[in-house]
Structure 1
Amino acid sequence: MSNKVAVLGSINVDTTYHVHRFPEPGETLAATDKSSAPGGKGANQAVAAVRSGSETYFIGMVGADSEGKFMRDALQEDHIDTTNVGNDPRHGTGTALVTLDENGQNDIMVYGGANQAMTKDVLSKSEEVMKKVDFLITQFETPQTVALEAFKMAKANGVITVLNPAPATEILPELLEYTDIIAPNETESALLTGIEITDDASLDQTAEYFRAKGVGVTLVTLGSKGAYYSTKDGSGTVPAFKVKAIDTTAAGDTFIGALISQLLPDFSNLADAITYAQRASSLTVQGMGAMPSIPTFDQVQEALK
């Protein structure tokens, strides 16, 4: 039985330009293809959770525009509850412009729009959601002040809070006091802690840094080297699956959504949940686009055999 998950976060329409290589400053390059797909860290994580079997609720904001309708429809198609997705009359729906080279590497420019303009009002009807769910996930494409309010509400209802501090930016110290699990990648981790990740000792040091600030579980994704975890009971690294990446967009989001769908609330199956999430993520990078490439529970299980 999968967990019930709420995601507070960003909703973007991703437009991807396919190029042989990234342009140099001032250079104009011809794109070989262009595609649009639903995305945004929050939306991707919700889709990863729901496709891995979780009952999933979304809390967020779109603009009163066609992109907003497109994104609401996309979430509903995946059976994600969008009751708590508001319409912002003043700001457009978030958009992301992705440049993707032939090695599967990307760079991304994001217009925050309604995501960044979100206020605590978005949480006005969220108490009902917090009474239903086991986990609440958020990221940094929406304001931290809203995340803090949501985490306080979650903790008051016994919900486990998960912070994916991406894109990395200075964290409100109080937010960490209400965070049960923090899950950065190695680059974000170094930016947040000032600890360069080079070996096991620096990973343990990173976990200590977050533990001192009130976070019980640290997860650091290490790309092709796997994922590190640290809890009060110990630490370890779960290896990654070797695949040829076509498009790395949403790899980290898939990892988090898939992991939280499988993780037991007492964290006793953490290593297994990480293996599941690594496999899900390895399938995502083999497909094009953010949401379209996120796998289902059955696809992940098949790949794990």
Structure 2
Amino acid sequence: MGKILVVGSSNTDMVIKAPELPRPGETVLGGEFFSFAGGKGANQAVAAAKLGGDVIFLAKVGDDELGKNAIQSFQKLGIDTSLIRSAKGLHSGVALILIDGNGENSISVASGANNSFTLADIDSIDEVLGQTEFVLVQLEIPIPMVEYLVEKCSEKGVKVILNPAPAAKLSLSCLAALNIITPNETEAEMLTGVKVSDEKSAEKAAHVLLESGVENVIITLGAKGSFFLNRVEKGLVPAFSVQALDTTAAGDTFNGALAVALAEGQSLKDSILFANRAASISVTRMGAQDSQPFRHEIIL
């Protein structure tokens, strides 16, 4: 298996599960409180590690107990934490998550140390990149740092999987350097201007990204599955039917699983099927990293 370098955020998730999400100015009583390790980068690193990936994680945490606890939990899963930096004087990232009775969520994030990434942090991984097959990155760290990382990987011939979440615009030079991009419907619309709701509209948006230079486009469509497109093939890989309890880490689980399957040499279509299965398991459980499956749970 090739090594997977995950670059991204690490947060602590503070979660309230209530019958419904509050509207602006409204207070909803009767919720349950939970606290979980989270952050898109951390979630994807943990997902990959739990599924058997050889994972190294580059992240910034605060010089606080939340950061120390996060590093310890990564190490217990066998993640290489040698690249995790402690940002003096900054708090670790925190996410406040509200979940309704249908498993839908609303999230607000105080990024803290995640926003302290610098060019020096990215330049420090040159040696690691020489041993890496796939870099997996998201948009919860400053976008200029993401784009610098993508360009550096392109120069060194390292394949990048970009999960463009939270939704944001990216430069054409960044898109053109990507091996794989994995937006959901909302993120695909932000990047292409095409409103995505089904396979047909997903294909239209995917063509826009393909023409921007992305080598492989995968648009996740929730319960409808995942649509993929490149210059050779296209198709809709079906989702697995489950009763969703909490969708918080579904996308992160998908991306971590996708990286593992590709690093093992599975085909793109088979890798997407594997990722769909892992994500379908995660939504049946509460939390982010706690909800993610281990390899022995994946039955296709």
> Normalising to structure 1: TM-score of the pair?
0.94
With over 3 angstroms needed to count, the CA separation of the structure-2 counterparts of 1:24 and 1:200, relative to structure 1, is: closer
Give the C-alpha shift of residue 148 in structure 1.
2.0
- Comparing 285-294 with 153-162, greater Cα deviation is found at 153-162
Structure 2 residue ranges without an equivalent (≥5): none
- Comparing 125-134 with 236-245, greater Cα deviation is found at 125-134
The 5 A counterparts of 1:1-305 are 2-263=1-262, 269-300=267-298, 303-304=299-300
Give the C-alpha shift of residue 153 in structure 1.
2.6
Q: Whole-Å Cα distance in 2 between the matches of residues 298 and 231 of structure 1?
A: 31
Q: In the alignment, is the contact (CA less than 8 A) between 1:19 and 1:31 conserved in 2?
A: yes
Task: Give the letter for the 1:60 counterpart.
Answer: A
Two-structure CA RMSD over aligned residues (Å): 1.6
Q: In the alignment, is the contact (CA less than 8 A) between 1:63 and 1:91 conserved in 2?
A: yes
Task: Give the letter for the 1:178 counterpart.
Answer: A
Q: Whole-Å Cα distance in 2 between the matches of residues 99 and 199 of structure 1?
A: 27
Task: Give the letter for the 2:188 counterpart.
Answer: S
With over 3 angstroms needed to count, the CA separation of the structure-2 counterparts of 1:201 and 1:105, relative to structure 1, is: closer
Q: In the alignment, is the contact (CA less than 8 A) between 2:133 and 2:263 conserved in 1?
A: no
Structure 1 residue ranges without an equivalent (≥5): none
Q: How much identity, in percent, do the aligned residues show?
A: 39
Q: Whole-Å Cα distance in 1 between the matches of residues 120 and 263 of structure 2?
A: 31
Q: SS at 1:17's partner residue?
A: strand
Q: In the alignment, is the contact (CA less than 8 A) between 2:49 and 2:55 conserved in 1?
A: yes
Give the C-alpha shift of residue 31 in structure 1.
4.0
Give the C-alpha shift of residue 203 in structure 1.
2.4
Q: In the alignment, is the contact (CA less than 8 A) between 1:60 and 1:122 conserved in 2?
A: no
Give the C-alpha shift of residue 77 in structure 1.
1.4
Q: Whole-Å Cα distance in 2 between the matches of residues 45 and 210 of structure 1?
A: 23
- Comparing 280-289 with 257-266, greater Cα deviation is found at 257-266
Q: Whole-Å Cα distance in 1 between the matches of residues 248 and 12 of structure 2?
A: 13
Q: Whole-Å Cα distance in 2 between the matches of residues 21 and 207 of structure 1?
A: 33
Give the C-alpha shift of residue 224 in structure 1.
0.6
With over 3 angstroms needed to count, the CA separation of the structure-2 counterparts of 1:105 and 1:202, relative to structure 1, is: closer
> Normalising to structure 2: TM-score of the pair?
0.95
Q: In the alignment, is the contact (CA less than 8 A) between 1:61 and 1:122 conserved in 2?
A: no
Give the C-alpha shift of residue 197 in structure 1.
1.9
Give the C-alpha shift of residue 176 in structure 1.
1.1
Q: Whole-Å Cα distance in 2 between the matches of residues 6 and 65 of structure 1?
A: 24
Give the C-alpha shift of residue 6 in structure 1.
0.5
What count of residue pairs does the alignment treat as equivalent?
A: 300
Q: In the alignment, is the contact (CA less than 8 A) between 1:182 and 1:219 conserved in 2?
A: yes
Q: SS at 2:116's partner residue?
A: coil
Q: SS at 1:116's partner residue?
A: helix
Q: SS at 2:52's partner residue?
A: coil
Q: In the alignment, is the contact (CA less than 8 A) between 1:222 and 1:228 conserved in 2?
A: yes
